[in-house]
Structure 1
Amino acid sequence: MAQATPPSRAPNSRYATDGPNPWAASGTVFAGVLMLVEGVLGILKGIVGIANDDVYARVGDYTFKFDVTAWGWIHLVLGIVLVVVGAGILKGAEWARITGVVIVALDIILNFLWLPYTPLWGLISIAIGVFIIWALCTDRGTSRSTTS
Structure 2
Amino acid sequence: MAQTAPPPGGPTPTTPASTTRPDHGAGGWASGGVVFAGVLLFVDGVLAVLNGIAGIAKDDVYARIGGYTYEFNLTTWGWIHLVIGVLLIVTGAGILRGAAWARALGVGMAALSIVANFIWLPYQPIWAVIAIAIGVFVIWSLLTDRPRTAH
Instruction: Give me the TM-score of the superposition, normalised by structure 2.
Output: 0.81
For the residues of structure 2 that align with 1:59 and 1:116, how far apart are their CA atoms?
7
Q: Hey, what does 1:48 align to over in structure 2?
A: 54
How far apart are 1:142 and its partner, in Å? 2.2
Q: Which amino acid aligns with 1:33?
A: V
Over the aligned positions, Cα root-mean-square deviation in angstroms equals: 2.5
Pick aligned residue for 1:91 from 71, 82, 97: 97
SS at match of 1:142: coil
Q: Is the 8 A contact 1:85 1:100 kept in 2?
A: yes
CA 1:96–1:9 in 2, change beyond 3 Å: closer, same or farther?
A: closer
SS at match of 1:134: helix
Q: Hey, what does 1:65 align to over in structure 2?
A: 71
Q: Which amino acid aligns with 2:124?
A: T
How far apart are 1:141 and its partner, in Å? 1.6
> After the TM superposition, which segments of 4 or more aligned residues of structure 1 sit over 4 Å from their partners?
none
Q: Which amino acid aligns with 2:122?
A: P
What's the CA shift string for 1:87-113, capped at 9, x where partnerless? 000011110000010111011000000
How far apart are 1:61 and its partner, in Å? 3.1
Q: Hey, what does 2:143 align to over in structure 1?
A: 137
**Identity fraction in percent:** 59
For the residues of structure 1 that align with 2:8 and 2:35, how far apart are their CA atoms?
30
For the residues of structure 1 that align with 2:76 and 2:66, how far apart are their CA atoms?
19
Q: Hey, what does 1:25 align to over in structure 2?
A: 31
Pick 1 or 2: higher relative contact order, CA cutoff 8 A, min separation 6: 1
Pick aligned residue for 2:111 from 105, 109, 112: 105
SS at match of 1:141: coil
What's the CA shift string for 1:18-45, capped at 9, x where partnerless? x981110000000000001000000000
Q: Hey, what does 1:7 align to over in structure 2?
A: 6
Q: Hey, what does 1:14 align to over in structure 2?
A: none
For the residues of structure 2 that align with 1:95 and 1:38, how far apart are their CA atoms?
19
For the residues of structure 1 that align with 2:62 and 2:96, how far apart are their CA atoms?
33
How far apart are 1:49 and its partner, in Å? 0.1
Aligned residues: 135
